[in-house]
């Protein structure tokens, strides 16, 4: 079953984010605070949304996403920041169900696309996404400003 997250889900979402960071070999970069997560998902300004996957009443995965915008299409899109299913529940359709629910939301909201990034070494996920019809955007490179570089640019 897929459902929208509620404020009471925040501790479990945080746990799943930490598990995702471990899986991606990025635990050192996961400095998230549950209070920030709660505020950004359910506070006055909602920066992101979460869909929850459940199996027999237990939370087994999530998809965290937010809207972006396509200037070329003059329509909103959805950016999938994270999709994660606990390893012991993989292969049971939860990942696909999360993506189906996200695609339905995108269609309902008149979005022109759903997009996301995947680590190059994560071939199981890449194969899964391709099997669903997703196309890699090999001609694009992701750029990011964080920490000191972000502050330096902001203060220039």
Residues marked as catalytic? 129
Ramachandran angles phi, psi of 25, nearest 5°: 60, 35
Q: How many CA atoms lie within 13 A of 14 on its CB side?
A: 16
Handedness of CA 24, 29, 35, 37 (dihedral sign): negative
Paired residues of 4 in beta bridges: 51
Number of neighbouring beta carbons within 10 Å of residue 62: 26
């Amino acid at each position: 079953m897929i459902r929208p997250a509620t404020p009471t889900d925040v501790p479990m979402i945080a746990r799943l984010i930490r598990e995702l960071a471990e899986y991606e070999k990025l635990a050192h970069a996961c400095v998230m605070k549950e209070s920030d997560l709660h505020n950004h998902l359910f506070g006055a300004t909602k920066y992101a949304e979460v869909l929850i996957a459940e199996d027999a009443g237990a939370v087994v995965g999530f998809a965290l996403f937010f809207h972006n915008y396509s200037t070329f299409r003059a329509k909103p899109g959805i950016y999938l920041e994270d999709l994660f299913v606990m390893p012991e529940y993989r292969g049971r359709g939860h990942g696909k169900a999360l993506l189906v629910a996200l695609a339905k939301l995108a269609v309902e909201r008149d979005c022109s696309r759903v997009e996301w990034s995947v680590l190059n070494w994560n071939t199981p996920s890449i194969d899964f996404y391709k099997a669903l019809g997703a196309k890699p955007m090999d001609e694009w490179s992701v750029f990011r400003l964080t920490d000191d570089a972000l502050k330096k640019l902001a203060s220039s």
